[in-house]
Amino acid sequence: MGEFLNAVLEFPTVLFTFLLVVVIVYWLIVLFGGADTDLLDADPAGVVDGGADGGFGGFLGSVGLGGVPVTVGLSVLVLVAWFVSLAGSTVADGALASVAVLVAALVVAWLATRLLVVPLRRLFPETSGDSRTAFVGRRCVIRTGTVTDTFGQAEVTAADGSSAIVQVRQTGTDTFTAGSTAVIYEYDRDGEFFWVVPAPTGPTPGQRELS
């Protein structure tokens, strides 16, 4: 245990150890409903556009890591870099070798993340405001610990069977928990989110209930 702690607290692994702790704390906050997954995204809808010009999301898109929320891409990048750095530091000897491990960790993490975000993009399709209105009237599954008038995310399935993670809000004081079902009744174009209400008991006529 002592050797492991020494390894994660030595250069260059310590750089990624700090970032990994931040990532873990952040996702714990998301899990308990304290933050959105698109906190750092350039696009208010929560998905990094590969052609975006500004913001950190635009930078990630320009290096091939677009199509997913910035926080998702960064989390994968940090996790892979930490593992590579930790493995490399066990055989590195000297300052120059440590710098080489740092560079290798960044390169390998970038390559691995580019491969991993490809299947993840299917969960975060880039859709226009017009196509998003097709979700109105459909049921969705809440994916955050709560939904308020400023925070919330849900998974909704379109008519073609594809699913997407969308931003949702509520105007009342209804109780939503992760895994609960809601009904989308309106799309806010300015805020780029959906208004939801708790789903009634039993299937909605003409709608396929999400599993």
188 three-class SS: strand
Enter the pTM of the model.
0.58
pLDDT tens per residue, range 99-130: 999 999 999 999 999 999 888 877 765 544 44
Helix ranges (H only) for the chain are 2-8, 13-31, 55-62, 70-89, 95-120, 129-132
**How is the chain split into domains, by residue range?**
2-123, 129-198
What's the mean pLDDT in 21-43?
70
- Asked if 139 contacts 199 with a C-beta cutoff of 8 angstroms, the reply is yes
Query: Domain 129-198 class?
Result: mainly beta
Residue 7, token pair as written in the block: 């390894």
pLDDT tens per residue, range 37-85: 554 443 433 444 433 334 556 677 777 787 777 888 899 999 999 999 9
Q: Is the pLDDT of residue 162 over 50?
A: yes
Residue type, position 82, single letter: W
Q: What is the structure's pLDDT at 158?
A: 81
Looking at per-residue pLDDT, the higher value among 183 and 122 belongs to 183
